[in-house]
Structure 1
Amino acid sequence: MSAESYDLRGLKCPLPVLKTRRRLKEMPSGAELTVETTDPLAGIDIPHLCNEDGHALLLSERTETGHRFVIRKG
């Protein structure tokens, strides 16, 4: 199963984490979501969301314009 891509570039805190949480709720358990964001706070907020909601953060990396995360829904 390939990761679904979610482009949240250009959105400011708290929108990236709120939209990521909403998108994950709609997905089946075990599904993967790739999130692209330019919000500098996403580097803190997205890992915190995963920890709080029981999702696995498979990848967290800086990109030229922001961050990329790969999340597996718990």
Structure 2
Amino acid sequence: MARELDVRGLHCPLPILRTRRQLDHMAEGEELIVLVTDPASVIDFRHFCNTTAHELVEHTQAEGVFTYRIRRGAA
């Protein structure tokens, strides 16, 4: 079961910073679902996952909310 982090209403860089903090407290392989309303998050989350060991498993958008499923990579 994935954990959930709701950062709706926050703007860059806060969604990424809070996501990183949450992932730091998770075990390798655990998944985190992040709910974001900042449109810039699309670029931010892709870049974050491309430059870390974390995997962007899924990204969806509905009614102004961007949902990211991220799998914690190796530390």
**Which TM-score applies when normalising by structure 1?**
0.93
| Sequence identity (%) | 45
Q: Which one has a larger percent helix, Structure 1 or Structure 2?
A: 1
For structure 2, the 5+ residue unaligned runs are: none
**Matches of residues 1-74 of structure 1 in structure 2 within 5 Å?**
2-74=1-73
Distance 1:6 1:47 in 2: 17
Runs of 4+ in 1 over 2 A off after TM superposition: none
Give, in angstroms, the shift of residue 66 of structure 1: 2.3
Please give the root-mean-square deviation of Cα atoms over the aligned residues, in Å: 0.8
The residue identity in structure 2 corresponding to 1:21 is: R
* 1:26 to partner: Cα distance: 0.9
